[in-house]
Amino acid sequence: MAALLVAQHLVKHFRGVKAVDGLDLNIPAGCCFGLLGPNGAGKTTTVEILEGIQRPTSGTILYRGEPLGAGFRQNIGIMFQSTALQDYITGYENLKMFSRFYQRTLPLPDLIASCALGEFLDRDTRKLSGGQRQRLLLAIALVNDPELIFLDEPTTGLDPQARRNFWELVHRIKARGKTLLLTTHYMEEAYHLCDIIAIMDHGRIIAQGTPRELLAAHFGDVVLQLPQTDFPNPPLPAWLTVMQGAETVEILTCDVNAAIRELIAYNISLAHLQIRPRTLEDLFLELTGHELRA
């Protein structure tokens, strides 16, 4: 896929702190690109530079092969993590107000239908649920029919059902050939939505690829998980890596059958055994040493 947005050697200093340190990014057209990182990794600063909100100390950003120009903001949509909606007016009135900021807009009936706003469109925005508010904010980000959409932690605070409903809206946007840059604290969300993932730490990209490529490159084992109460800490052989948690024990192995035979030989109950593949959460911890919510 051709590159839509390219960042070359981005650097950003804040009072002697290098928040972004020589970062390069290539975001292909038509993909959902996930940018992940622990708090303090430089992720927010990077996204704000890509959006044109902040200027880099040095480095270049190219949109369709050209430096960002005056028309760039007419071609992008931004769903901020927290956006203030005008109180005491309806969702429709908010949508209409934001549409006046752009030269080109989608027909509002089409936008209302695609983001499923109909059921609460005439409701005061103060009375919207979390999921309804996020759908309205997504519609506002799409009002100018942008080619590139920034989604900054769009499902934070939503319940699981509202989060999955939002995912379906993102899939519909992708199906229209739009390009998205997503930041999220949910690894399942990143795996489900992103075609490419870049993991940041200390202002640099430390890993990048499709979710499957990243997992295949770093892991060849699976995880056997048991509750602590079922694990008497026997002297298992060295080829099994045992990781003790507060409530669970995880055993890493490339040979599930052999690992289970060892557990049976030590009379360990398998009644509550769970076997799972490695996840993006595992990868994030291995690469950064942090949980995503540091």
Average pLDDT, the chain: 92
- Average of per-residue pLDDT across 134-150: 95
3-class SS of residue 116: coil
Burial class of residue 209, CB neighbours in 10 A (0-12, 13-18, 19+): middle
* Closest C-alpha among 289, 85, 20, 52 to residue 181: 52
Name the band, by pLDDT with cuts 50, 70 and 90, for residue 294: very low
Domains and CATH numbers, the chain: 1-75+147-156+176-218 (3.40.50.300), 220-277 (3.30.70)
Distances in Å between the Cα of 67 and the Cα atoms of 6, 8, 72 are 10, 11, 9
- d(C-alpha 237, C-alpha 244), whole Å: 16
Alpha helices in 117-223 (DSSP H): 130-142, 160-175, 187-193, 211-218
Q: For residue 161, what are its two tokens?
A: 């059902």
Q: For residue 202, what are its two tokens?
A: 């200390």
Cβ-contact 262, 237 below 8 angstroms: yes
Name the band, by pLDDT with cuts 50, 70 and 90, for residue 291: low
- The predicted-structure confidence for 44-77, as pLDDT tens digits, reads as follows 999 999 999 999 999 999 999 999 988 899 999 9
Cβ-contact 171, 276 below 8 angstroms: no
Asked whether the predicted pLDDT for residue 81 surpasses 90, the reply is no
Q: The tokens 């005056």 sit on which residue?
A: 70
- Average of per-residue pLDDT across 211-233: 94
- d(C-alpha 263, C-alpha 268), whole Å: 5
- The predicted-structure confidence for 107-141, as pLDDT tens digits, reads as follows 999 999 999 998 899 999 999 998 899 999 999 99
* % of the chain residues with pLDDT over 70: 98
Residues forming a β-bridge with 20: 12
Name the band, by pLDDT with cuts 50, 70 and 90, for residue 246: confident
Helix (H) or strand (E) holding 7: strand 3-14
pLDDT at 234: 86
- DSSP character for 230? G
Asked whether the predicted pLDDT for residue 215 surpasses 90, the reply is yes
pLDDT at 26: 95
Q: For residue 235, what are its two tokens?
A: 């002297």
- pTM reported for the whole predicted model: 0.90
pLDDT at 292: 53
pLDDT at 40: 86
pLDDT at 290: 66
- The predicted-structure confidence for 173-208, as pLDDT tens digits, reads as follows 999 999 999 999 899 999 999 999 999 999 999 999
